[in-house]
Structure 1
Amino acid sequence: MSLRRGLTFALGSVLLGSAAQLGMRWSMTRLPSPEHWLTATIDPTAVVVVLAAILAYALSMFSWLAALRDVPLGRAYSLLSISYALVYLLAAALPVFNEDFNLSKSLGVALVILGVITINSRPAHASNFRSDL
């Protein structure tokens, strides 16, 4: 049960971190550059999205810490790679980000996902851990 709970927290961390990345990207394209902050009109919606993304990052970190209580680090850390795939796929799929699919990037994402599946496909058992290291 604790491994399942840990995996749930790890995937929650991935989802929150991915949402934060997308929120940051969306808002940064709508805010003026720092040298124009004093003279430009600032979109309040973009500021709210930045603040929500920062909160999502904080919640992602707490979720990650909870995941590390129950999931071996080698398995948990590989799950973070899902975030790279998720952000790429959503940024390319959602028209608001105006990013293109690319064959080489898509192949890279497929390899990342295959790696995560490979690392996490075998059940974790206490007998798999060597105590003499």
Structure 2
Amino acid sequence: MSLRRGITFAMGSVLLGSAAQLGMRWSMTHLPSPDAWLSAPLDKLALAVVFAAILAYALSMLCWLAALRDLPLGRAYSLLSISYALVYLLAASLPFFNETFSLSKTLGVALVMLGVITINTRPVSAPELRSAS
């Protein structure tokens, strides 16, 4: 088992999934509502971003499947929570998303990250190694 390879693929899944979420959010604010799709012109860039985000989701799933080969499910699944923090931080930091930081959201994200750190800093036990292989 390659723990490092599993973590690398899990983080690839996190990054691709987060990019897909942000891309979908951006493109949905630049496309007309679904009931106006037939009558209103579609923004070609926003449509391209939708398709890129769908591709990113597909690649994210492939990374996730590769990560599951090398990581125990409990550890791998906890790493996906990093995407909550990443999406929140980027959406609130980048001006074109019009999202804001708040104390409660930031505290929630900090608690999620503390959980990820807690789960993933303990040594891998023998039963986890057997179940991942």
TM range (shorter): over 0.9
Residue 116 of structure 1 pairs with residue 107 of structure 2:
no
1:23-52 Cα shifts (integer Å, max 9, x gaps): 000000000111100110110000000000
Once the two structures are superposed, the pairs formed by residues 98-117 of structure 1 within 5 Å of their partners are 98-117=98-117
Name the counterpart of 1:32.
32
1:27-83 Cα shifts (integer Å, max 9, x gaps): 000001111001101100000000000000000000000000000000000001000
Deviation of 1:123 (Å): 1.8
The percentage of aligned residue pairs carrying the same residue is 79
SS across alignment from 2:124: coil
- Provide the C-alpha distance between the structure 2 equivalents of 1:66 and 1:121, rounded to a whole number of angstroms: 21
- Provide the C-alpha distance between the structure 2 equivalents of 1:19 and 1:89, rounded to a whole number of angstroms: 12
Runs of 5+ consecutive residues of structure 1 not aligned to the other structure: none
Name the counterpart of 1:12.
12
- Provide the C-alpha distance between the structure 2 equivalents of 1:69 and 1:130, rounded to a whole number of angstroms: 12
- Provide the C-alpha distance between the structure 1 equivalents of 2:9 and 2:16, rounded to a whole number of angstroms: 10
Moved over 6 A (4+): none
From the superposition, tell whether residues 105 and 68 of structure 1 become closer, same or farther in structure 2 (CA, over 3 Å): same
- Matching residue's letter, 1:123: P
Conserved in 1, the CA contact under 8 Å of 2:92 and 2:99? yes
- Provide the C-alpha distance between the structure 1 equivalents of 2:128 and 2:39, rounded to a whole number of angstroms: 61
Runs of 5+ consecutive residues of structure 2 not aligned to the other structure: none
SS across alignment from 1:124: coil
- Matching residue's letter, 1:3: L
- Matching residue's letter, 1:87: V
The TM-score, its normalising length taken from structure 2, stands at 0.94
Deviation of 1:126 (Å): 1.7
- Provide the C-alpha distance between the structure 1 equivalents of 2:78 and 2:6, rounded to a whole number of angstroms: 13
Deviation of 1:108 (Å): 0.3
- Matching residue's letter, 1:103: L
- Matching residue's letter, 2:111: L
From the superposition, tell whether residues 36 and 123 of structure 1 become closer, same or farther in structure 2 (CA, over 3 Å): same
Aligned-residue RMSD, C-alpha: 1.6
